Each structure stands twice: as C-alpha cells, then as structure tokens.
Copies of this chain bind each other. A is one copy, B any other.
Amino acid sequence: MEIKVLKDILESNISKAEEIRSLLKEKKVYMCDIMSSPGSGKTTLTDRVLSVLKNEFRCAVIEGDIKTTRDAEKLAKHDIPIMQIETSLFGGDCHLESSWIRKCLESFNLDELDAVFIENVGNLVCPAEFELGDDERIVVLSVTEGEDKPVKYPLMFTSSQTLAITKIDLLPHLDFSMEELLENVKRVNPKMNIFMLSARTGEGMDAFLDHLRLNIAKKRG
C-alpha cells in the first residue's frame, strides 16, 4: 500500500511537471532546478548568478525551504520576482513538488520572463525523485563534502545534467582529490557538464554564466 501511494504521488507529480514543461516551451522561458545538500552554497551561487544575468535577461526565483524565508530575503536586493515556498506549511516536506512550482509560475507574468531559477530544499536525496518540468537540473556540490557523493547519492547525479563544484577557494586547506571526484562523476554520469568555481571569489564563474546564457538563449529560440 505504501508503495502504491508513493507511486500515485510520483505519477501525479510527473503529470504536473509535463504541464509545466509545455507551458514554459510555449512561453519560451528557461527554468533550472538547483539542488544540493544544505550548505553547499546554492543561495550564494544564485546570488552571484543573478547579479550578472539580471542585467541581460528577465529573471525570477523560486526559493524552497522547509522553514524561514532567509534565502528569499538574501536575494530580495536584486529586485526581481521571488516566490518563497516554505515546505513546513505542507508538513515539513524535504523536497519541492511540481504542483507548488506550477502555482508559483502562475503568480509570475511568464510573458515578461526569460529565466526562472529554482533553489530546491537542501537535500541530496529526495528532490531528485521529483520532476519539476525544468530544462536543466543543476547539482551543487562543495569540495568540503568529499569526493564520494556521486556514488553514494547516485540518483541526484544521474538525473542532473550539470554539476557546479563550489568553494574551490578552500581547496588548499582540504584533503580533497578533484581527480577522484571527477572519476566518481564519470562513473555515474559521464555526460555531465562540470563547472568548478568559487561563488565567493568569482573564480570559474564566467564559464558557468556562459553555460546559463547559452541555455537561456536556446530556449528563447
């Protein structure tokens, strides 16, 4: 019974995600789902991305958190449309679901947007199971988390197209092998786009921004 109900939830989530996909195709709006463990630097990365891309594209943000509106507040300075989903209001959920994303998109004026950035709940497990109808899933993994995460949390890495390896400014202070991480990524998802960067120092941001520019422009057609 448990399995049956979970299946129903996932199927209903997929069907709403498909509706979102059609809607965004029609409106030519790019959307990405940024996922990671808590504290990998999703908000700092999104902040850095927005400070550049908001001058080139019409951007909006959907912030997912179990509790608090802190991340949305941090991004408020960009003066772009932001919706905060506090999942604790829905029972403390550990992921975002497509029906909530749909509601957020309805509150935006999609005719006046080029790109929507979703910052998912900090969790390297559950969000991967829920399609949101986006164009691109971006996993953020900080170098402080160790090299083994792709093989230990495979669904997140196999279901995402892009990996942003963050906090590389800390590399000199860590026992961390980038080579081993890249081998582990290759093992589970050899086609992954990989970017190494520090949102704090700005190192490596240009290539990541170019990647987003390209994907947003592609969607605009």
Q: Which of B149, B167, B169 contacts A38 (CB 8 A)?
A: B149
Q: Which of B37, B145, B151, B200 contacts A68 (CB 8 A)?
A: B151
Contacts of A91 in B (CB 8 A): 3
A161-182 Cβ-contact flags toward B at 8 Å (1 or 0): 0000001011001110000000
Contact assessment for B1 and A152 in the assembled complex, using a CB-CB cutoff below 8 Å: no
A66, A152, A175: most-surrounded residue (chain B CB, <10 A): A152
Contact assessment for A92 and B155 in the assembled complex, using a CB-CB cutoff below 8 Å: yes
| A170 vs B80: C-alpha distance when bound (angstroms) | 35
| A207 vs B148: C-alpha distance when bound (angstroms) | 29
* A81 within 8 Å of B (CB atoms): no
A65 closest partner in B (C-beta): B152
Q: A142-B144, A200-B175 are contacts. A125–B39 as well, Cβ < 8 Å?
A: no
Contacts of A154 in B (CB 8 A): 66-67
* A76 within 8 Å of B (CB atoms): no
Complex interface: stretch among A99-107, A116-124, A210-218 = A116-124
| A152 vs B209: C-alpha distance when bound (angstroms) | 28
Contact assessment for A39 and B170 in the assembled complex, using a CB-CB cutoff below 8 Å: no
Contact assessment for A38 and B37 in the assembled complex, using a CB-CB cutoff below 8 Å: yes
* A2 within 8 Å of B (CB atoms): yes
A2 closest partner in B (C-beta): B5
| 8 nearest A-B residue pairs (beta carbon) | A39-B145, A94-B125, A144-B144, A37-B37, A37-B38, A39-B146, A38-B124, A5-B5
